[in-house]
A and B are shown apart, each in its own frame.
Chain A
Amino acid sequence: MDSWHEFWTMGGYARFVWPAYGVAFVVLLGSGWAAHRGLRRALARVASRVRGGRR
């Protein structure tokens, strides 16, 4: 790669390269987000039980 222009056009393959990377990172981030949400929920559930138990 010599210039930003070349980088963005990907030698004419931009139509395929960038969506591929886009989909990949959307799915990767999505699964990461889902995993963290699951953990947060599990923690919240335990926390509410502990609080409820002390009352």
Chain B
Amino acid sequence: MAGRATPWLIGLTLVLMAAGLVGGLWLAPPDYQMGDGFRIIYIHVPSALLSMVVFAVMAVASAVGLIWRIRMAHAVTAAAAPIGAAFTFIALVTGALWGKPMWGTYWVWDARLTSELILLFLYFGYLALVHAFPDRRTGDQAGAILAIVGAVDLPIIHFSVQWWTTLHQGATLKLSGTPMPVSMLWPLLVMMLAFLCYFAWLLMVRLRAEILRREYRARWVEKI
């Protein structure tokens, strides 16, 4: 089962991560505006992307779990949540460390930052809710509803935060809007893929643990 794919994922993650890091930290030229500070992009953007992808995965898995009553799907949601929270956290911290030299402060109430912060709270809420139930199955289903409602709400949150920040400040915080040269872009794409593979790897590991925990009493488990 999942065990078969894992070595491939590990290898792919390591190779892509190494290539992306070399490309991003060494080969790519410094940005003409931000100098070498822009190199934070190679971890910031992939983790921000993943933080959203993971929530989408959770919402879809939750919907599948609720509609077709597949317990496996709930295990996917439960396994993905902590990883998504970690990515969101990384995106926020690296964003703060990027903001300090570029904007002069660690934090601004910028639309994307604020949405990301709310996303982190949604992850925390999901984890808190699921773990509050003594019974796993009830927690799964309650969490699934929350994940779906959260996924419906996220675009609204993003839209509202954007509206709110445009009221307060102009587009002064825009990143340099020029299109990226290829030498800067490819490490970013590679790093995105690397993060995606890392997520898939960890998801497999967590999923196996979740299933073993859930199917504790099942017969087939004994064969492993």
Chains A and B come from one and the same complex: yes
- Chain A residues within CB distance 8 Å of chain B: 1, 7, 10-13, 15-17, 19-21, 23-24, 27-28, 30-32, 34-36, 38-39, 41-43, 45-46, 49-50, 53
Binary flags per residue of B195-224, CB closer than 8 Å to A gives 1, else 0: 000100110011011101100100001101
Q: Say yes or no for B94: interface residue by CB 8 A criterion.
A: yes
Among residues of B, the one whose C-beta sits closest to the C-beta of A34 is B82
Given known A-B contacts A34-B82, A42-B208, A20 and B43 have beta carbons under 8 A apart: yes
Among residues of B, the one whose C-beta sits closest to the C-beta of A15 is B101
Asked whether B82 lies within 8 Å of A42 as measured between CB atoms, the reply is: no
Could you tell me the distance between the alpha carbons of A10 and B177 in the complex, rounded to whole angstroms?
Answer: 22
Asked whether B37 lies within 8 Å of A16 as measured between CB atoms, the reply is: yes
Q: Determine the main DSSP class of B at the interface with A.
A: helix
Known: A35-B82, A45-B213, A46-B221. 6 other contacts (CB 8 A): A7-B25, A17-B39, A23-B90, A27-B90, A31-B86, A42-B213
Of the residues A1, A11, A21, A50, contact of B27 by C-beta under 8 Å: A1
Could you tell me the distance between the alpha carbons of A6 and B98 in the complex, rounded to whole angstroms?
Answer: 19
6 A-B pairs with the lowest CB-CB distances in the bound complex, closest first: A11-B36, A42-B212, A13-B37, A39-B209, A10-B36, A38-B209
> What is the minimal beta-carbon distance from A34 to any residue of chain B, in angstroms?
7
Of the residues B27, B201, B206, B224, contact of A43 by C-beta under 8 Å: B224
Given known A-B contacts A1-B26, A42-B209, A50-B222, A31 and B202 have beta carbons under 8 A apart: yes
> What is the minimal beta-carbon distance from B13 to any residue of chain A, in angstroms?
10
Among residues of A, the one whose C-beta sits closest to the C-beta of B25 is A7
Inter-chain CB contacts under 8 Å: number: 101
Query: What chain B residues lie within 8 Å of A42 (beta carbons)?
Result: 208-210, 212-213
Q: Say yes or no for B74: interface residue by CB 8 A criterion.
A: no
Asked whether B209 lies within 8 Å of A24 as measured between CB atoms, the reply is: no
Asked whether B90 lies within 8 Å of A35 as measured between CB atoms, the reply is: no
Q: Say yes or no for B47: interface residue by CB 8 A criterion.
A: yes
Binary flags per residue of B28-49, CB closer than 8 Å to A gives 1, else 0: 0010000111011001100100
Binary flags per residue of B81-100, CB closer than 8 Å to A gives 1, else 0: 01100100110011001101
Asked whether A27 lies within 8 Å of B208 as measured between CB atoms, the reply is: no
Asked whether B37 lies within 8 Å of A17 as measured between CB atoms, the reply is: yes
Given known A-B contacts A13-B35, A20-B93, A45-B216, A31 and B40 have beta carbons under 8 A apart: no
Asked whether B36 lies within 8 Å of A17 as measured between CB atoms, the reply is: yes
Asked whether B216 lies within 8 Å of A16 as measured between CB atoms, the reply is: no
Could you tell me the distance between the alpha carbons of A19 and B131 in the complex, rounded to whole angstroms?
Answer: 32
Asked whether A36 lies within 8 Å of B205 as measured between CB atoms, the reply is: yes
Could you tell me the distance between the alpha carbons of A15 and B43 in the complex, rounded to whole angstroms?
Answer: 16
Query: What chain B residues lie within 8 Å of A15 (beta carbons)?
Result: 101
